[in-house]
Structure 1
Amino acid sequence: MSERDDPGTIGRRVQQLRAERGLTQRQLAEPAYTPAYISTLEAGRVRASEDALRHIAERLGVAYEELATGRPAHLATGLRLRLTEAQRTLAAGETAQATEQYTALLAEAREHALPEAEAAALLGLGECALDTGELAAARQYFERTEDALADAPLPARVPALRGRAVSHYLAGELRYAVYLLESTLDELNRAGLHDPDALLLLYASIIGPYMDMGAHARAAQAAEFALTLAPQAGDPALVARMHRSVARTLLAEGRVAEADASLAKAAELYRTLQLRTELANCHWMRGYVYAQNGELKRAEEELRKALAMLAAGRAALYGSQAAVELADVLHRRGKSEEAAELLRDVLSDLSPERGALHAAAAHRLLGIIAEDARDTESAEEHYVRALSLLERAGAVGDLADLCRLLGDLLRRTGRVEAALDAYRTGLRHRTAPGTTTLGPAPAQPPL
């Protein structure tokens, strides 16, 4: 049975439409029903069957949906089409236009009480806010999406849960992001809700936080699950995102050629789908691959492509990440002044609550550049700032490396005890590689 208004509301609607058309109750009723039935229906004393409402709608010359719900005919279908168009607009990197589209759709969905369309518009606004780096706004949109889908099955809520986790991740709250993703995976797998798209989205999204926390074993396992789920997924955008995330674990294992191949597959899918921001992230990851392999010229070309695409799409935080990688390549190519200028621009757009990991990476590289210029005071200041940001975020692997850099600097300037403290701190972060503080890994899907 389709969703419909209460009998009293429908009765008043029938009476109003009948009067507007100058029909009597007998004329409306014939030939299938009686005038008395129409009278009872208009008084709200009977719940009309679907067949009765369809007969009355035909006699009144309106769509069944409009008579039963008060909504214009085909409204829900029209909204879905416009939601798809907004999604394409966002995928093409036109975030401002997509935000306008989703805002208008949200107002219309609310006006006509269409909760599914309202949830989809809220989710889109959350994704737009992620692209522009407005993390607090993004989190609120995703929370409101979850509220709108409170009665829906868990797989339907996964995109909003994933969005909320990503907003915490980009804000530097790694442990909480992992907690959200792991607990959702656990609930899906333990309850037997093995939706391939939902599981693939979660496993692909958790690889980055795992890697930044130094939990390489869990990242590798998540990548393995994602690769196994990919053939079952119905959404090629998810498959492309998975290939990009899996490349990180392949790099950690030194499998550079396989990582590059995985990113090439993702890039081809994103070109097909016209997902500009994700395609830019593929160029960023390919630049990272080339940089790790010592191919600095190719790395610079890929990273400049990524940065230009992300700037055009106003994907602020993703752009900051690509800018830090590009600055590292420029420094290694002897262009330290250009690298430092790029990093200062990055830091002007970030804060501890917004892009903590990117800010830490920028301070770390500025410290290295300052050391090369023999400005030890500035180098130490940048290292200490980076250390503070990473400790707050819980980025264990990066913390250990930064403690080594700071210790070496302190030792060269004659502060041996302080250097030893820095080394000890770094060793503590190295004592349990590949672990988190979150307990057992989530339940596994039946693969």
Structure 2
Amino acid sequence: MAATSRATTDGDEAPGRTDPEREEAQGAPAAIGRRVRRLRKERELTQRQLAEPAYTAAYVSTLEAGKVRPSEAALRHIAERLGVAHEELATGRPTHIATALRMELADAQRTLAVEDAADARAAYEQVLGRAEEYGLTQERAAALVGLGECALETGDLAEALARFEAAEHALADEPLPVRARAVRGRAVAHFLAGELRYSCYLLESAIDELNMSGLHDPGALLQLYTASIAPYMDMGAHARAAQAAELALALVPQVSDPALVATMHRAVARTLLAEGRVDAAQASLARAAELYQQLQIRTELAHCHWMRGYVWAQHDDLVRAETELRTAHSMLVSKRAALYVSQVEVELADVLRRRGKPAEAAELLESLLAGLQPGRGAVHAGGAHRLLGLIAETAGDAEAAELHYATALSLLEQTGAAGDLADICRLLGDLLRSEGRTEAALNAYRTGLGHRAEPGTTTLGPAPARPPFGPWA
């Protein structure tokens, strides 16, 4: 969860306090009295020197003992005599601290974009500690979200969830547009953990709340619609993915953040490819890559190379596919983006297998699975076992192939990835049929057909409502 907060210089910090409680404590008479006494002694002033000409030494003594709450006039007089800002004396919060922390947050975000997530994490931790020290809710929440994004990049999904949940809790009294980034982060963490249905539920609930409550924030909606595309696609809910892409594209003219727009173009490319619109998908990826290049966001740029590799692989241009995937892999390794590295390795291994390099592909997949911790990416762990099953089956090792297919099926059943499940059932059925195990093969095919019947059933309710603005309004 959140980093342990540091004690304030006045020693009036208590573990577990909420931000309003902390702010009240910092403005309490005892805390103000301690600040006045500390600052007076630092400036080598007597109580009489601090009090004159408007107040008495006895009043300053009573104030420093925390027995009286100073009036605004008294605070301003004492602050002037001490040479500090009135706000700093009243709250213990240095002037312009919020502005300074926002600048540090921007620097940390840039570090995460172009350098190592560990360096960004250290920067966010520092901001978090200072934001907690001074009771700055917005800056604290932003630091928690940043730490969640660092954890996503390194593949620590449990920490990512804890950070995003803490950010949502900190912003509980804020409107949903302010919480949208934390909600999106939590949904992405659940998606990467293989909890596709719950990821969709979180995003759909937030989208409906925005659209039905009059909180029509285009940037927040763009984040949520964009994040929903990947889990929809993996669940086989292509119609909902296409609708989310359509709505996201319509929001772009109202959004000024180029990073959000670039992420949208990258996500939409997947729906275009599923519709067979390869040229449009390539154009969307090119636009995303151009924006990421301008913004110097290396992880997302690597995702564009990854997606290009996927497009080339789908069209059997395996040489180009391998080049793009190796580029993406190299960039993600340099960023130590462990979970994304694993995902790219599954795609790369498939290309290597199809290029007649099964031993290299198998070595890559075995290494991937050995380093993949439980709870980190059931979808691509299942994909890795599927490929190992194909390699084993091609080599004539039916027993190993069946084991890998069964393992993949077990992993993917936890996720609801309908298309992948149906494919695994088909492969397993074909293998069993080739061995003369007809009844077992039929059971595998029936299971696959059952999963094929599920696409679109992502939540217990209907698809999210459309925003009450745009070309459909």
Q: Same fold (TM over 0.5)?
A: yes
- Classify 1:95/1:46 alpha carbon distance in 2 versus 1 (closer, same or farther; 3 Å): closer
- Classify 1:367/1:195 alpha carbon distance in 2 versus 1 (closer, same or farther; 3 Å): same
* Structure 1 match to 2:418: 396
Deviations 1:378-429 (A, max 9, x none): 1111111111111111111111111111111111111111111111111112
Matches within 5 A, 1:82-231: 82-231=104-253
**In 1, Cα distance between equivalents of 2:455 and 2:95:** 59
* Structure 2 match to 1:441: 463
The more displaced of 107-116 and 181-190 is: 107-116
* Structure 2 match to 1:64: 86
RMSD of aligned Cα (Å): 2.4
Matches within 5 A, 1:68-79: 68-79=90-101
Deviations 1:317-368 (A, max 9, x none): 1111111111111111111211111111111122552110000011111111
Query: In 2, are the aligned partners of 1:9 and 1:44 still within 8 Å (CA)?
Result: no
**In 2, Cα distance between equivalents of 1:272 and 1:144:** 32
1:117 CA displacement: 2.1
Residues 1:22 and 2:22 aligned together: no
**In 2, Cα distance between equivalents of 1:203 and 1:53:** 50
Matches within 5 A, 1:410-429: 410-429=432-451
1:148 CA displacement: 1.6
- Classify 1:46/1:351 alpha carbon distance in 2 versus 1 (closer, same or farther; 3 Å): closer
**In 2, Cα distance between equivalents of 1:96 and 1:443:** 39
1:48 CA displacement: 3.7
1:11 CA displacement: 5.5
The secondary structure found in structure 2 opposite 1:414 is coil
* Structure 1 match to 2:400: 378
1:262 CA displacement: 0.5
Q: 1:301 aligns with which of 323, 329, 332?
A: 323
Structure 1, unaligned stretches of length 5 or more?
none
* Structure 2 match to 1:244: 266
Residues 1:316 and 2:338 aligned together: yes
**In 2, Cα distance between equivalents of 1:72 and 1:382:** 60
Residues 1:289 and 2:311 aligned together: yes
1:57 CA displacement: 3.1
The secondary structure found in structure 1 opposite 2:414 is helix
The more displaced of 399-408 and 62-71 is: 62-71
**In 2, Cα distance between equivalents of 1:282 and 1:418:** 41
1:24 CA displacement: 6.9
Query: In 1, are the aligned partners of 2:40 and 2:50 still within 8 Å (CA)?
Result: no
Query: In 2, are the aligned partners of 1:7 and 1:48 still within 8 Å (CA)?
Result: no
Residues 1:257 and 2:279 aligned together: yes
Query: In 2, are the aligned partners of 1:90 and 1:128 still within 8 Å (CA)?
Result: yes
Amino acid at match of 2:180: V
Matches within 5 A, 1:32-51: 34-35=54-55, 39=59, 42=63, 48-49=71-72
Query: In 2, are the aligned partners of 1:288 and 1:299 still within 8 Å (CA)?
Result: yes
Q: 2:409 aligns with which of 387, 402, 405?
A: 387
**In 2, Cα distance between equivalents of 1:306 and 1:15:** 58
Matches within 5 A, 1:349-368: 349-368=371-390
1:371 CA displacement: 1.4
Residues 1:326 and 2:348 aligned together: yes
TM-score, normalised relative to structure 2: 0.87
1:93 CA displacement: 3.9
1:55 CA displacement: 5.8
1:296 CA displacement: 1.4
- Classify 1:394/1:191 alpha carbon distance in 2 versus 1 (closer, same or farther; 3 Å): same
Query: In 1, are the aligned partners of 2:200 and 2:459 still within 8 Å (CA)?
Result: no
**In 1, Cα distance between equivalents of 2:50 and 2:388:** 83
Query: In 2, are the aligned partners of 1:233 and 1:239 still within 8 Å (CA)?
Result: yes
Query: In 2, are the aligned partners of 1:364 and 1:386 still within 8 Å (CA)?
Result: yes
1:28 CA displacement: 6.0
**In 1, Cα distance between equivalents of 2:419 and 2:203:** 20
- Classify 1:409/1:100 alpha carbon distance in 2 versus 1 (closer, same or farther; 3 Å): same
**In 1, Cα distance between equivalents of 2:234 and 2:323:** 25
The secondary structure found in structure 1 opposite 2:99 is helix
Structure 2, unaligned stretches of length 5 or more?
1-22
Deviations 1:202-242 (A, max 9, x none): 11111000001111111001111111112212321111111
Query: In 2, are the aligned partners of 1:28 and 1:60 still within 8 Å (CA)?
Result: no
The secondary structure found in structure 2 opposite 1:223 is helix
Amino acid at match of 1:22: L
The more displaced of 233-242 and 211-220 is: 233-242
Amino acid at match of 2:171: L
**In 2, Cα distance between equivalents of 1:307 and 1:438:** 38
1:108 CA displacement: 2.3
The secondary structure found in structure 2 opposite 1:393 is coil
**In 2, Cα distance between equivalents of 1:16 and 1:307:** 55
Between the aligned residues of both structures, percent identity stands at 64
Query: In 2, are the aligned partners of 1:256 and 1:293 still within 8 Å (CA)?
Result: no
